[in-house]
């Protein structure tokens, strides 16, 4: 079973470089992940959080979005 994540956990994984989106370093955020949904009175679906967290179609560390795999 896949662990349910919240936005705070997703941001921590991104800041720790675990999703392959960036190097391990905290990013200051003007509006933290999930703020818009919370302000609008809507909860973010678990699927949307998982997608943002990178479990669906995640990249390898250092791989850029849209980049061809190594050796091609």
Rama region for 28: left / alpha / beta (φ>0; ψ in -120 to 50; rest): beta
Residue predicted with more confidence, 17 or 28: 17
Report d(CA 72, CA 68) in Å as an integer: 6
- CA R_g for the chain: 14
**What pLDDT does residue 18 have?**
85
**What pLDDT does residue 64 have?**
54
Q: How many CB atoms lie within 10 A of CB 5?
A: 16
Query: In this predicted model, what pLDDT tens digit does every residue of 21-69 receive, in sequence order?
Result: 788 888 777 777 778 887 888 888 888 888 877 754 445 555 555 555 5
Query: How many distinct helices (H) and strands (E) make up the chain?
Result: 3, 0
pLDDT of residue 14 exceeding 80: yes
């Amino acid at each position: 079973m896949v662990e349910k994540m919240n936005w705070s956990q997703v941001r921590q994984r991104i800041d720790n470089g675990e999703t392959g989106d960036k190097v391990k370093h905290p990013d200051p955020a003007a509006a933290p992940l999930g703020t818009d949904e919370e302000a609008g009175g809507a909860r973010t679906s678990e699927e949307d959080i998982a997608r943002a967290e990178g479990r669906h179609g995640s990249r390898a560390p250092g791989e850029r979005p849209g980049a061809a795999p190594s050796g091609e």
